[in-house]
């Protein structure tokens, strides 16, 4: 068959909501690459967060990170668009004035303020609880996940290497206010639909997974006709807009399933492996 370029969302698609990579998913990716297909992750996470994931013996051709702000092919940085220091300072001050916990997402690490120390574990626990984890699993995840962050204070948070900033929503009004107060940036929410969202985020305008895929395809000299994307959430719809064939995970939300060409099984039920088999990417 024609060699394909495959784009995989990470949380809820490649790995489960407790950040565990199913053995079958790692096997599917390695087999597909052995068959000559290219596989890239396409995620909201920044590179530092991805580097903390346990991908076992799985290999990739590169990554799109920060919801499209960072593009890498086999170690070569194709594109990197980050927030200005002035934007970072304005957002940091805005969150601190409201006593909102946040984390700065940079390729060098993920940096948190004082308020996130208390608010972060609770929001992260709610996130995985909403994805089907037990209360005990959720609480444990919320505490353990904090190990990936670096706590900074004062002006040390005014960084120049930040891709985007995620902040805990006390209520949905925080997101609405962020759209008004930062009209030069793009404001999203995640961790729940509509007013059930747990986090807001702010990043450079014009940055989407769709745009990043187009940049990478242009760099590779590849055609959109050879692309396949996999996702589980509304944020992945921009991938679906530009890829030729689109797969929704069984654990995905209604919007992504409605837009999909094919719906596979849940991430924990060999969904990725089964879809790769169905698409004849692997034998």
Task: Note the pTM of the prediction, 2 decimals.
Answer: 0.86
Q: Kindly state the helix (H) or strand (E) to which residue 190 belongs, with its residue range.
A: strand 185-190
CA-closest candidate to residue 103, choices 146, 53, 136: 146
For residue 113, the model assigns a pLDDT of 98
> Chain-centre distance of CA 147, in angstroms?
18
Backbone angles phi, psi at 231, to 5 degrees: -155, 170
CATH number of this structure's domain 85-204: 3.30.1240.10
Task: Report d(CA 103, CA 168) in Å as an integer.
Answer: 9
Task: Report d(CA 235, CA 90) in Å as an integer.
Answer: 25
Tokens of 79: 């594109």
The one-character DSSP state at 17 is T
Q: Return per-residue pLDDT of the chain as tens, 283 residues.
A: 789 999 999 999 999 988 899 999 999 999 999 999 999 999 988 899 899 889 999 999 999 999 899 999 999 999 999 999 999 999 999 999 999 999 999 999 999 999 999 999 999 999 888 888 889 988 898 888 899 999 999 999 999 999 999 999 999 999 999 999 999 999 999 988 778 899 999 999 988 899 999 999 999 999 999 999 999 988 899 999 999 999 999 999 899 999 999 999 999 999 999 999 999 999 9
For residue 270, the model assigns a pLDDT of 98
Task: Report d(CA 91, CA 108) in Å as an integer.
Answer: 19
Q: Kindly state the helix (H) or strand (E) to which residue 83 belongs, with its residue range.
A: none
CA-closest candidate to residue 67, choices 189, 222, 184, 235: 235
Task: Using CA atoms of 241, 8, 51, 121 in order, give the dihedral in degrees to the nearest 10.
Answer: 80
For residue 128, the model assigns a pLDDT of 87
Enumerate the domain spans of the chain: 5-80+207-278, 85-204
For residue 193, the model assigns a pLDDT of 75
Task: Report d(CA 222, CA 142) in Å as an integer.
Answer: 40
Tokens 């698409």 appear where? 279
For residue 3, the model assigns a pLDDT of 96
Contact indicator for 112, 101 with CB cutoff of 8 Å: yes
| 201: β partners | 166, 188
CATH number of this structure's domain 5-80+207-278: 3.40.50.1000
User: Exposure string (b/e) for 251-281, b if CB count within 10 Å is 16 or more?
Assistant: bbbebbeebbeeebebbbebbbbbbbeebeb
CA-closest candidate to residue 65, choices 15, 11, 20: 11
CA-closest candidate to residue 43, choices 238, 264, 236, 251: 236
């Amino acid at each position: 068959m024609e060699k394909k370029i495959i784009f995989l969302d990470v949380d809820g698609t490649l790995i489960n909501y407790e950040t565990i990579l199913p053995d079958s998913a790692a096997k599917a990716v390695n087999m597909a690459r052995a068959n000559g297909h290219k596989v890239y992750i396409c995620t909201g996470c920044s590179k530092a967060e991805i580097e903390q994931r346990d991908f076992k013996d799985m290999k990739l051709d590169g990554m799109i990170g920060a919801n499209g702000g960072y593009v890498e092919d086999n170690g070569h940085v194709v594109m990197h668009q980050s927030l200005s220091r002035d934007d970072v300072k304005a957002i940091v001050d805005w969150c601190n004035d409201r006593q909102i916990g946040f984390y700065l997402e940079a390729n060098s690490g993920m940096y948190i303020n004082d308020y996130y120390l208390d608010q972060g574990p609770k929001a992260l626990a709610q996130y995985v609880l909403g994805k089907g984890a037990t209360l005990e699993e959720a609480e444990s995840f919320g505490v353990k996940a904090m190990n990936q962050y670096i706590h900074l204070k004062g002006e040390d948070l005014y960084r120049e290497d930040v891709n985007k900033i995620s902040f805990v929503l006390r209520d949905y009004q925080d997101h609405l206010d962020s759209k008004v107060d930062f009209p030069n940036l793009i404001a999203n929410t995640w961790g729940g639909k509509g007013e059930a969202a747990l986090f807001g985020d702010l990043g450079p305008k014009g940055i989407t997974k769709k745009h990043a895929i187009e940049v990478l395809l242009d760099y590779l000299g590849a055609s959109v006709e050879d692309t396949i994307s996999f996702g589980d959430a509304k944020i992945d719809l921009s991938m679906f807009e530009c890829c030729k064939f689109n797969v929704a995970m069984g654990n995905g939300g209604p919007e992504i399933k409605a837009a999909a060409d094919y719906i596979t099984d849940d991430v924990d039920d060999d969904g990725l492996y089964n879809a790769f088999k169905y698409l004849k990417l692997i034998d």
